[in-house]
Amino acid sequence: MRWYIGRRLLQVIPVFLGATLLLYALVFLRPGDPVAALGGERGLPEAVQEQIRERYNLDKPFLVQYLLFLKGVFTLDFGVDFRGREIVDVIAGAFPVTIQLAVMALIIEAVFGIGLGLVAGLRKGGIFDGSVLVISLLVIAVPTFVIGFVLQFLLGVKAGLFPVTVGRDPNFESLLLPAIVLAAASFAYVLRLTRTSVAENLSADYVRTARARGLTRSRVTGRHVLRNSLIPVVTFLGGDLGGLMAGAIVTEGIFNINGVGGTLYQAITRGENVTVVSLTTVLVIVYILANLLVDLLYAALDPRIRYA
């Protein structure tokens, strides 16, 4: 087990370096000069441009720039953005609400996805199964942003059940509808995965043997069918945390939440490359860590992995 964790941790290093380098290259190697574009139509005086270039290491070779950036990541010193704000502060301001939103969405999709998926899987081929499956297909087919403002319009504007926008002061209540919207697509995937997994496990040999030794149906379902079916589902859920945070860009836009998505979007439109790279790097780190966590959780759920 110790070696399994060790090996897994070692694998994270090249992935982290590769992914950040990739993003960094994409943002900074693009044609055009962001500094020259800073002052609008007229442009900044040459001397000021030079100063900015020096300050952001833009005068140095690309790889050096990247390494300096990495150093910044590890020392939590991302520098300041073009408007003079500490990027660490920007990150600290943006992430909490997005994390809260993503975690709420994760809980929603896990609870409803697993719950409905379990029932559908146990009654595969029945009416409940059929209708749940159709709903899940519809939820996947309709894009998040459509679900987003349709629900916003129907439940928020028309019915008045939820706050229409979140704004400056996010709380549990105002984040609930956005979390449901964010969770929708993943919920359908969790449901379908649980359903298949449960149906597959139901006909596993060890389930029959468990029944043969006289266990009641509920115990067989809980201890053998569900327990084993959760292994792939948990893997999906863990990997999805990062996806939810990235996907929150759309949801945050609809509900006017000042999270990572909004900040990133603004930074992109303003051409603040340092901010874009810093935010995406943190997102990638979250994504990689979530996947690492999944692997460790996987080992905890499946004893066979521990000794592999």
Partner 1 sequence: MTTQIPLTGQEPETQGAAPRATDQPLLEIRDLEVAFSTGAGEVKAVRGANLTVYPGQSVAIVGESGSGKSTTAHAIIDLLPGTGKVTGGSIMFDGRELVGVGRKTMEDLRGREIGLVPQDPMSNLNPVWRIGTQVEEALKANGFQGTKAERRERVAGLLAEAGLKDTERRARQYPHEFSGGMRQRSLIAIGLAARPKLLIADEPTSALDVTVQRQILDHLETLTSELGTAVLFITHDLGLAAERAEHLVVMFKGRVVESGPARQILTSPQHPYTQRLVASAPSLSARRIEEAREAGVESVELLAQHADADVEKVRSEDAVVVAKNLTKIFKIRGSRPGASTDFKAVDDVSFTLGRGRTLALVGESGSGKSTAANMVLGLLEPTSGSVEFDGVDVARLSAKEQFAFRRRVQPVFQNPYGSLDPMMSIFRSIEEPLRLHKVGSAKEREARVRELLDMVALPESAMRRYPNELSGGQRQRIAIARALALKPELIVLDEAVSALDVLVQAQILELLGDLQRDLGLSYLFITHDLAVVRQIADTVVVMQDGRVVEHASTDEVFEHPKEQYTQDLLAAIPGRDLDLGLVPPAV
Partner 2 sequence: MPENIDVTGARRDQPRRGQEHFVAPVDEGGLGAVDAVSTTQAPKSLWGDAWAHMRGNVLFWVAGAVIALVVVVAVAPGLFTSIGPRACDLSQSLSGPAAGHPFGFDFQGCDIYSRTVYGARASVVVGVLATAMVVVIGTIVGAIAGYFGGWFDTLLSRLTDIFFAVPLVLAAIVIMSLMSTRTSFTVALVLSLFGWPQIARITRGTVMSVKNNEFVTAARSLGMGRVGILLRHVLPNSTAPIIVYATVALGTFIVAEATLSYLGIGLPPSIVSWGGDISKAQNSIRVAPEILFYPAGGLALTVLGFIMMGDVVRDALDPKARKR
Residues at the contact surface with partner 2, assessed by CB under 8 A = 11, 14-16, 18-19, 22-23, 26-27, 30-32, 124, 137-138, 140-146, 149-150, 153, 157, 199, 203, 242-243, 245-247, 249-250, 253, 264-265, 268-269, 276, 280, 283-284, 287-288, 291
Q: In the window 152-211, what residues touch partner 1 (CB under 8 A)?
A: 203-211
Beta bridge partners of 80: 86
Residues 273-302 binding partner 1 (CB under 8 A) are 301-302
Rule CB under 8 A: which of 211-250 touch partner 1? 211-217, 219, 223-224, 227-228, 231
Instruction: Choose among partner 2, partner 1, none what residue 224 binds, the Cβ cut-off being 5 to 8 Å by kind.
Output: partner 1
Q: Amino acid identity of 160?
A: G
Among partner 2, partner 1, none, residue 23 binds (CB under 5-8 Å by kind): partner 2
Chain centroid to Cα 61, Å, comes to: 33
What lies within 8 Å, CB to CB, of 18 at 6+ separation is none
SS3 223: helix
Instruction: For tokens 């370096």, name the residue.
Output: 17
In single-letter form, the type of residue at position 19 comes to: A
Lookup: tokens for 138: 């519809």
Q: Which is nearer to partner 1, 47 or 212 (CB)?
A: 212
Q: What share of the chain is helix, strand, coil (3-state, %, to 5)?
A: 75, 0, 20
Q: Rounded to an integer, what distance in angstroms lies between the CA atom of residue 233 and that of residue 105?
A: 15
Of 109 and 129, the one with the shorter C-beta distance to partner 1 is 129
Kindly list the residues in this chain that would bind partner 1 in the complex (CB under 8 A): 2-4, 6-7, 203-217, 219, 223-224, 227-228, 231, 301-304, 307-308
